A and B are shown apart, each in its own frame.
Chain A
């Protein structure tokens, strides 16, 4: 069995503990959010660009924006879900961290800045700098897009273009019947 938990009782925004007792190798895939947290009553809205230096309760609230790992081949339940896309910027940050300090840390402040930029661009607002809030506020448009792309029988992947430019491609681990989503 493999488990993803907080690194301590208080938790840490950019870090999660991964324990693998499964007796086999487990692929960790970059995911999205883990442990989304609702602000306590009376909590002050956060300035998304300021990062961890705010400390105190803000540090806890900011966990909502934490990017987490998820397991490709271990079922963890609803709280951890995989997104098939990887953040190139974050990967670059982790690579830099590995080379400079031998650790796998991303720059959480930059991640929040990125989410804040996206929220501002899309006229969305999130008290906790959470991507999930932006998705919720764009649900109508997202559903329109999703309904326009019907899965094909035995589809093995997808290439995505935006304004005539290829922005990403995903390969599935196996051909998917059209009924799956």
Chain B
């Protein structure tokens, strides 16, 4: 996990990211929703399994 974070941290340093900004929860939720929709569209059995589960 440390290594993974450092990998993205390098991009954040390069981009001079705003480290004080609030957690981007809404963007993350939207991203996950988009991914789930994409999976449901391409792999309907997976979406059905989630619904049944």
Contact = CB atoms under 8 A, between A and B. Distances in A.
Interface of A: 81, 83-85, 118, 121-122, 134-135, 138, 141-142, 145-146, 149, 151, 155, 158-170, 176, 180-181
**Top 4 A-B residue pairs of the complex, sorted by shortest distance between their CB atoms:** A145-B9, A161-B24, A160-B8, A151-B1
B31 A135 contact: no
Contact of A162 (B2, B11, B28, B31): B11
A126 B42 CA distance: 44
Contacts of A118: 10, 14
B49 interface: no
Interface residues of B, number: 24
Interface of B: 1-15, 17-18, 21, 24, 27-28, 31-32, 35
A142 B10 contact: yes
A17 B1 CA distance: 29
Contact of B7 (A83, A151, A176): A83
26 contacts: A81-B3, A134-B10, A135-B6, A138-B13, A142-B9, A145-B12, A146-B5, A146-B6, A149-B1, A149-B5, A151-B1, A158-B1, A159-B28, A159-B31, A159-B32, A162-B15, A162-B17, A163-B17, A163-B21, A164-B21, A164-B24, A166-B24, A168-B8, A169-B35, A176-B1, A181-B2
Given A121-B14, A159-B32, A166 B27 contact: yes
A164 B19 CA distance: 11
A146 B13 CA distance: 12
Contacts of B6: 135, 142, 145-146
B8 A162 contact: yes
A84 B7 contact: yes
A135 B10 contact: yes
Contacts of A167: 8, 11
Count chain A CB atoms within 10 A of each CB in B4, B18, B32 and give the residue with the most: B4
Nearest to A151: B1
Given A122-B13, A180-B1, 13 more contacts: A83-B3, A85-B8, A122-B14, A134-B10, A146-B2, A149-B1, A158-B1, A159-B28, A162-B12, A162-B15, A166-B31, A169-B31, A170-B4
